[in-house]
Structure 1
Amino acid sequence: METEREADLLEEEPPQENGVIQSTQGLYSSTSPPASDDEPFSTYFEEKVPIPEDVTQVFSFRKLWAFTGPGFLMSIAYLDPGNIESDLQSGAKAGFKLLWVLLGATIIGLLLQRLAARLGVVTGMHLAEVCNRQYPTVPRIILWLMVELAIIGSDMQEVIGCAIAFNLLSMGRIPLWGGVLITIIDTFVFLFLDKYGLRKLEAFFGFLITIMAVSFGYEYVMVRPDQGELLKGMFLPYCENCDSAQMEQAVGIVGAVIMPHNIYLHSALVKSRQIDRGNKKEVKEANKYYFIESTIALFISFLINVFVVAVFAEAFYDKTNIEVNAKCNASGSPHTDLFPLDNSTLQVDIFKGGVVLGCFFGPAALYIWAIGILAAGQSSTMTGTYSGQFVMEGFLNLRWSRFARVLLTRSIAIFPTLLVAIFQDVQHLTGMNDFLNVLQSMQPEQCGALRAGGLALHSLPKLCVLPGELL
């Protein structure tokens, strides 16, 4: 039945005007009918940002500003607590040696985001809607379940990061389980910021990215990493004397950077601008500006990740527990017992990372680190929920209110995290982060989803005015 339905869609001739094939938004929207006015449903697209007319210039900063927003929301996934933990462990375990993996993963991520954005602009559908249209029921449901697992796994990392940040900022007065519960509440509050306007919501995300840049940039300036070693590690694809621990960390970097659900998110976010898909010039222009914006956004996220890697590579690579214990004891840190009196290599995570920064560089470094982690967790929590909304709409034609969607994903993510926070210690909580990073690097659903996007290209000559614009 699915195959027959797709064949019927392909055979329908699009409307023409003056000999030009017009955009067939109606055909595409058949997979995702608009919500009725009385339906308690809202998405990121309650308003669309107008694009200023400027026919005289090849490049316009006014137009770039109008297109700025989706790429920065997308880049949040490159800065979530899972990424930060992967960065600090990369620096502590391998020094600067794995920076080239981070650079390569970010470049691959940019290419995937470019394809996702172009898919949304050219077809008028986001990736989940394309998968709905191209795949029969069983593969589509399997793909949806895999994406949902990725979203839930990412959500767990964000909850863990926020809980640890609250614990550090309160000097332990807020227990980990308390931080988990606070995260439930503030997520609901922040998610309704778009009621005040789409651009204000995007500005809020920009503010959170700025907090991360300032926080981790401060740590970078305090530590003053060796710039020569940094550049060598970034551009020399080699890991001298690396063992299985460093190789596992390299896999974790890829899993932390290339997030499956982020591809779905970006293909949906680009629909928030007023673009006439029947106008080839406008579509080409949108693709150009979205690519520029995505490049800038991912460059900023890459710099922030480099800040974290470099800080821990310079200050804590090859440090032993007994060295850190002595330093923390001398500084009067209440967390000295985290580091046993032995000569084993220091093992760090988001929590210990803040502690050792406080021991070596003063309390300000600890608090600023915690603020950066909190900003990372809060921002990625919101974009993760948007991803879940788009994925559920596209794959299942199921339209839930945002409240119901957040309640479901939060409950699934928080239940196991809360159990660990109550009955185990912080090491077990951050250990979940490490496991989730490696797990997400092995999920193959990106390939299946992008194959669906490729199949959609074969439909474009029949269904769209712009065959080939996705390439």
Structure 2
Amino acid sequence: MSVDNEDLVASMGQAKSSQNNEDLGSAGELSLMGPQPQYGLLQNHSDDSLSGQPETTSSVNAVSGDPSRSLGPVPEEDPDFEHRVPIPEEEDYSFSFRKLWAFTGPGFLMSIAYLDPGNIESDLQSGFHANFQLLWILMLATLMGLLLQRLSARLGVVTGMHLAEVCFREYPKVPRILLWLMVEIAIIGSDMQEVIGTAIAFNLLSNGKIPLYGGVLITITDTFVFLFLDKYGLRKLEAFFALLITIMAISFGYEYITVAPDQKAVLAGLFIPRCQGCDSQASLQAVGIIGAIIMPHNIYLHSALVKSREIHREKKEAVKEANMYFFIEACIALLIAFIINLFVVSVFAQGLYNHTNAEIHDMCVEQGSIYTEYFPNNTDLIKQMDIFKGGVYLGCEFGAVALYIWAIGILASGQSSTMTGTYAGQFVMEGFLNLKWPRWKRIMLTRSIAILPTIFIAAFKGVHDLTGMNDLLNVVMSLQLPFALIPILTFTSADALMSDFKNGIIAKIFCFLLAIAVIGINMFFVVTYIPSLPQHWAMYVFVAILLCAYIIFILYLFWYCLITLGFTFLRNIPMPCCSLNAQSYNLEGLAEDTDRDTAEDKDGDTEDKPNTAERDTSMDDGHQ
């Protein structure tokens, strides 16, 4: 082609781009919605001037090694981790324990969210209210969590970006800000649980000499201690958290051996789905386990933590290998977390199920406990239990050593969860808002929000009100879960983003059904919790408005997800405040891709697709 012809083509391209920009501007929606999608999941063109994003270097697709099939723009330098962990180079991609050790770390940091004080209290109440009968739900919830963590890690490995960054580049402005707010609420709620657990642990360890509000104030400094440890390198920090998990395993394992639960009852609870004689409180606890186990911000966190390893994303085999090792590590980490949770459920199922106040009161008197007042001397069944009274019971029946070991386990739980919450908050804020804050400022913000209501209740109410907040916070976690579950399903199922590593048809169906089940559980929570609210018309109106907004936003996320999956007819359904410009969708190409993908999924082959570059040409117009 001659130089003149090249200039002519360039001029025509610029004119076409200018015309497209004018067309989009005339739609009057960019000012409302902000940046349009960057990857071409739902868009047939992209322009940095429209998106407002800085120019970035496109990554080479891990499937074909072809830059034209980029998985999306990624920064030239990863700001999340200054020093990434190198992976040993070997001649082939066969299994290697050396490589598994190099990949080990992110999964264990992620698993800490399954062991925070909110989870420990949920475990305790499961055993207290339903004996061993909810262990199968605990196991099922952990398996669900493993699936979601697998998707989260895969997104980070394949794209080189974490979930919040992908949301920033794909969702329009209004939904993106709402998602950020929902995840921040979950992080703050988790932080409050960590503050509560740590304060109770200090109170028990000091025999009540450190008041609850004093323990809350101590938590102001603990996160900064972890930031100091972070300066010594990621691997050392990972080792420190592995130590905290070990302390929890030893502490709660000691209680398990001391109480000696009926092993046949434990096995029956694990493998026989039932809940005979369960009252409404036990049923509520059953659905609450899912909200306690699967933390929404943890899905965002895991997709970021996997970026701490050096992965040659230009090689398909290297990406497959990384996915495999991260999945193995997640399986090991969540197995350990599940065993620790099982210890706690079993201890209190054996020790407190259907016991009276008088039984525990007499034990406390014999031990000379200072906490006798928490169990009145009457024949009524114990109605309420929490991590504080659980420690008191252990001390009254098995001596002070059992109480102190329990408190050490709770302290390790609260402290380990503190830093993961800090990391999650950092990644979420930077990803959703493209905002770089020093980590200490981020800590001051979230910890201040968490401490203010907690210290007020600790100072002016009591331990019952303080620990009772954990139930409410678990409800909050469950309500926020769709705002992580639906985005991770959307993006890990998108061919233009994940290519040969996208979800198969079975995974798509399972995740979709899981999302619907979680939303149903949330509605059950709301209906159950409303009667406990102040009986006033203004409160009911306020809750109704929040509930309507909640449902509308979830419907929008589902709408976006289904269009991404190929249900193109849904583009004609208007969404309040969040309707996207139909002109920006490449729906015809998306539908054709989906039809082909469905046929290929039925053949059971999603990793060796022919002509992937040709098949996705229309999908990639937005970033070529």
TM range (shorter): over 0.9
Deviation at 1:342, TM superposition (A): 2.5
Structure 2 CA distance for partners of 1:401 and 1:321, relative to 1, 3 Å: same
Q: Which residue number in structure 1 is paired with residue 386 of structure 2?
A: 349
Change (3 A) 1:241 1:251: same
Asked if 1:406 corresponds to 2:427, the answer is no
Deviations 1:346-398 (A, max 9, x none): 22101001000000001000000000000000000110010000000111101
More off after superposition, 76-85 vs 87-96: 87-96
Pair 1:304–1:244, CA change in 2 (3 A):
same
Tell me which amino acid in the other structure corresponds to 1:102. Answer: L
Q: Which moved more, 1:438-447 or 1:396-405?
A: 438-447
The CA deviation at 1:59 is 1.1
Cα-Cα RMSD:
2.2
Cα pair 2:164 2:427 within 8 Å, conserved: yes
Match of 1:445 among 459, 467, 483: 483
What's the TM-score, normalizing by structure 2? Answer: 0.70
- Structure 1 residues 225-304: aligned runs within 5 Å: 225-304=261-340
Aligned residue for 2:215? 179
Aligned-residue offset at 1:92: 1.1
Structure 1, 203-212 or 431-440: larger mean CA deviation:
431-440
Q: Return the alpha-carbon distance in structure 2 between the equivalents of residues 13 and 150 of structure 1.
A: 32
Cα distance per residue 1:213-259 (max 9 Å; x no partner): 00000000111111100010011111001110001111221111000
Check the 8 A contact 1:131/1:452 in 2, yes or no: no
Question: CA contact under 8 A between 1:23 and 1:277: conserved in structure 2?
Answer: no
Residue 130 of structure 2 aligns with which residue?
Answer: 94
* Letter paired with 2:74: S
- The aligned amino acid for 2:155 is L
Q: CA deviation at 1:192?
A: 2.8
User: CA separation of 1:333/1:193 partners in 2, compared to 1, >3 Å: closer, same or farther?
Assistant: same
Q: Distance in 2 between matches of 1:73 and 1:47?
A: 17
The residue type paired with residue 389 of structure 1 is Q
Name the count of aligned residue pairs.
Answer: 456
- Deviation of 1:27 after TM superposition, in Å, equals 4.5
**Is the Cα contact below 8 Å between 1:118 and 1:470 reproduced in 2?**
no
1:431 is aligned, of 448, 468, 474, to: 468
* C-alpha separation in 2, matches of 1:144 and 1:223: 44
Q: Name the CA distance, whole Å, in 2 between partners of 1:212 and 1:310.
A: 15
> In structure 1, what is the equivalent of residue 427 of structure 2?
390
CA distance in 2, matches of 1:55, 1:13: 28
Q: Tell me if structure 1 keeps the 8 A contact 2:60–2:66.
A: yes
Counterpart in the other structure of 1:467: 500
Partner of 1:63: 99
Residue 25 to residue 161, structure 1, CA distance change in 2 (3 Å): farther
Q: Which amino acid aligns with 2:477?
A: Q
Q: Percent identity?
A: 64
Report the secondary structure of 2:469's partner residue.
helix
Task: Find the aligned partners of 1:16 and 1:226 in 2 and give their Cα distance.
Answer: 54
Larger mean Cα displacement after TM superposition, 182-191 or 422-431: 182-191
1:446: Cα distance to partner?
2.2
Amino acid at match of 2:282: Q
In 2, the alpha carbon distance for the partners of 1:97 and 1:26 equals: 46
For 1:21, the aligned partner's letter is: D
Q: How much does 1:450 deviate?
A: 1.9
**Moved beyond 3 Å, runs of 4+:** 4-17, 22-27
**Deviation string for 1:28-53 (max 9, x for gaps)?**
336xx869xxxxxx74x121001012
The farther-off stretch of 282-291 and 180-189 is 180-189
Q: Is the 8 A contact 1:163 1:176 kept in 2?
A: yes
Change (3 A) 1:26 1:365: same
Please identify, of 434-443 and 138-147, the stretch whose mean Cα deviation from structure 2 is larger.
434-443
Paired with 1:431 and 1:243, the residues of 2 have a C-alpha distance of: 19
Partner of 1:376: 413
Q: Which amino acid aligns with 2:368?
A: G
Structure of greater relative contact order (alpha carbons < 8 Å, 6+ residues apart): 1
TM superposition shift of 1:459: 2.1
* 1:336 to 2:368 alignment: no
Match of 2:74 among 16, 24, 29: 29
Mapped to 2, the partners of 1:23 and 1:66 lie a distance apart of 31
5+ residue gaps, structure 1, are 36-41
1:58 is displaced (CA, Å) by 2.0
